[in-house]
Amino acid sequence: MYSDKVKDHFEHPRNVGEIPDADGVGLVGNQKCGDIMKMYLKIENDVIVDVKFKTYGCGAAIATSSMATEMVKGKTVQEALQITNKAVMEALDGLPPVKVHCSVLAEEAIKAALEDYYKKQGKEPDFKATGCSHCCRKDEA
């Protein structure tokens, strides 16, 4: 059901962990629904120099978190904000339809971490992480 890329990122997730002195931390999802992502960003001169994540959730949630961290690393904040769930999915060679929401969660985790970064910097973010309103769904066997 999962692509080889997804499997690889699930099996060997990149950037797992915490950054104790992170410049931005984003927490999205909901344990009741079965998916929580927490993303830690270290930002220097507007560039994301380090990133870590922790995820509670299904295989796709872990893989998209992992891929998302890879994608933001080295990017400027503005570039990182452009990363869409679609881009994450594409980078993973696709997700089963029922797992698309996991990629949305990853996009939101980046946004939420950057929102936190803006706030910590005393800036008003001109975007808003909405978290993820959908829960994990497997429509078809």
Partner 1 sequence: MDHFVYADHAATTRIRPEVLEAMMPFLTEHYGNPSSMYEMSDVTEMAILDARRTVAELIGAKPNEIIFTSCGSESDNMALWGILRKKKGHLITTKIEHHAVLHTAEALEKEGYAVTYLDVDKDGLVAPEALEAAIRPDTTLISIMTANNEIGTVEPIRELAAVAKKHKITFHTDAVQAVGHIPIDVNELGVDMLSASGHKFGAPKGIGFLYVRGGVLPLPLIYGGGQERGKRAGTENIAFIVGLAKALELAVAEMEETNRKLTRMRDRLIDGILRDIPYCRLNGSRDKRLPGNVNVSIEFIEGEALLLKLDMAGICASSGSACTTGSLDPSHVLLAIGLTHEVAHGSLRITLGGDNTDEDVDYILEKLPGIVKYLRDMSPVWEDALKNGQAKEYELCTAIK
Query: Annotated catalytic sites, by residue?
Result: 33, 102
Of 32, 44, 122, 124, which lies in the binding site for partner 1, with binding defined by CB under 8 A?
A: 32
Question: What backbone torsions phi and psi does residue 122 show, to the nearest 5 degrees?
Answer: 80, 10
CB of 119 to partner 1, least distance (A): 19
* Closest alpha carbon to 110 in 51, 31, 60, 44: 51
Listed ranges 5-13, 74-82, 87-95, 123-131: which one lies at the site for partner 1 (CB under 8 A): 5-13
Q: Is 128 in the site for partner 1 (CB under 8 A)?
A: no
**What part of residues 36-75 is at the interface with partner 1 (CB under 8 A)?**
36-38, 54-59, 61-62
* Closest alpha carbon to 107 in 44, 26, 21: 26
Q: How many CB atoms lie within 10 A of CB 140?
A: 6
DSSP symbol at 117: H
Q: Is 1 in the site for partner 1 (CB under 8 A)?
A: yes
Cα distance between residue 31 and residue 44, in whole Å: 32
Residues that bind partner 1 (CB under 8 A): 1, 10-11, 13, 16, 18, 27, 31-38, 54-59, 61-62, 135-141
